[in-house]
C-alpha cells in the first residue's frame, strides 16, 4: 500500500504518539499545542542543528542539514536534523560527488538519554524513510543529546522497525477517524506541554487525588 501525499502525517509525531496517544491526538488532530521549557529548549537545539548551509564537507564526510524525508509506504514526511554521508566502498552514489557513501542519520535532542525508546523510534523512522528514498540499507544512526553533548549509537533492529510501521498504521487510523483517546493520568503527565489543556483541573494546583474524586462525584450526581 502507498499513501497519497495529502494523507502524509508528520514523522516527528511518532515520539509524541509513543509517549501518549492522547497528547498526539490533541496536538496533531485537534491542533492544540502549549509550550513548556522542554519544548522551547528542544526547538532552540533543533535551530542550532539547522542553522547552516544545506550541505558541508568535513574530510571524507558530507553533512546535510534539515534534509527533507518521506515514505509513501508509511505515509509520513519530515526532516532529518543531520544526515552524514561517509565515503566508503560499496555505498551509494551522490550527484556531483566522487566515490560512494554510506548514510548515517543524526537526531538532536535536549537533555540526557531517555529511559524510554521514543527517540529511538523517531530516528529509526527517519532511517526507514532514507532507505526508501535512496534505495540503500542503513544499519545504524546516532542520537545527540544537548545535556551530555554526546552521541549515542542506535542500531535499527527488525523489532523496532516493525514497531515503527505498526505505530504509523495506528496513527493513520486515529487520524482518519479524528479519534482522540480519553484521559489516562500517569506521572509523565506532569512534564507534558499539553497538561493544562488535557487536564485543566490539574493546572489549578489541584491534586490528582482531588481531581479523580471530583470526577467520580460528578458521575454519581449524574
Would you state the pLDDT for residue 81? 93
Closest Cα to residue 103, out of 51, 163, 63? 63
Would you state the pLDDT for residue 188? 83
Would you state the pLDDT for residue 217? 57
Question: What are the mean pLDDT values of the chain's consecutive 10-residue runs (222 residues total)?
Answer: 94 94 91 59 54 74 95 96 96 94 94 90 98 97 94 97 98 96 85 81 46 51 50
Domains in the chain with CATH codes: 5-182 (3.90.320.10), 183-222 (no CATH)
Residue ranges of the alpha helices (H) in the chain?
13-19, 21-28, 37-50, 118-134, 158-177, 195-198, 208-221
Query: For the stretch 112-136, what's the b/e string if a residue is b when 16 or more beta carbons lie within 10 angstroms of its beta carbon?
Result: eeeeeebbbbbbbbbbbbbbeebee
Would you state the pLDDT for residue 121? 97
**Cell numbers linked to 93:** 552514489
Q: Which residues pair with 195 in a beta bridge?
A: none
Q: Distance (Å, rounded) from C-alpha 156 to C-alpha 159?
A: 8
Q: Distance (Å, rounded) from C-alpha 22 to C-alpha 155?
A: 29
Would you state the pLDDT for residue 179? 95
Would you state the pLDDT for residue 142? 98
Amino acid at each position: 500500500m502507498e499513501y497519497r501525499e495529502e494523507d502524509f502525517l508528520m514523522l516527528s509525531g511518532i515520539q509524541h504518539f509513543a509517549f501518549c496517544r492522547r497528547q498526539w491526538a490533541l496536538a496533531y488532530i485537534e491542533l492544540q499545542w502549549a509550550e513548556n521549557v522542554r519544548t522551547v529548549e528542544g526547538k532552540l537545539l533543533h535551530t542550532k542543528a539547522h542553522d547552516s548551509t544545506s550541505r558541508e564537507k568535513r574530510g571524507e564526510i558530507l553533512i546535510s542539514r534539515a534534509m527533507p524525508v518521506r515514505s509513501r509506504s508509511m505515509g509520513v514526511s519530515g526532516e532529518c536534523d543531520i544526515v552524514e554521508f561517509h565515503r566508503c566502498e560499496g555505498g551509494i552514489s551522490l550527484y556531483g560527488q566522487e566515490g560512494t557513501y554510506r548514510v548515517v542519520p543524526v537526531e538532536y535532542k535536549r537533555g540526557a538519554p531517555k529511559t524510554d525508546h521514543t527517540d529511538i523510534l523517531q530516528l529509526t523512522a527517519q532511517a526507514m524513510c532514507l532507505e526508501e528514498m535512496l534505495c540503500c540499507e542503513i544499519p545504524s544512526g546516532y542520537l545527540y543529546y544537548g545535556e551530555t553533548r554526546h552521541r549515542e549509537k542506535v542500531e535499527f533492529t527488525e523489532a523496532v522497525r516493525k514497531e515503527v510501521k505498526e505505530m504509523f498504521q495506528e496513527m493513520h487510523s486515529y487520524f482518519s477517524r479524528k479519534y482522540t483517546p480519553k484521559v489516562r493520568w500517569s506521572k509523565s503527565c506532569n512534564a507534558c506541554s499539553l497538561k493544562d489543556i488535557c487536564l485543566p483541573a490539574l493546572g489549578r494546583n489541584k491534586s490528582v487525588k482531588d481531581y479523580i474524586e471530583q470526577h467520580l462525584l460528578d458521575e454519581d450526581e449524574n
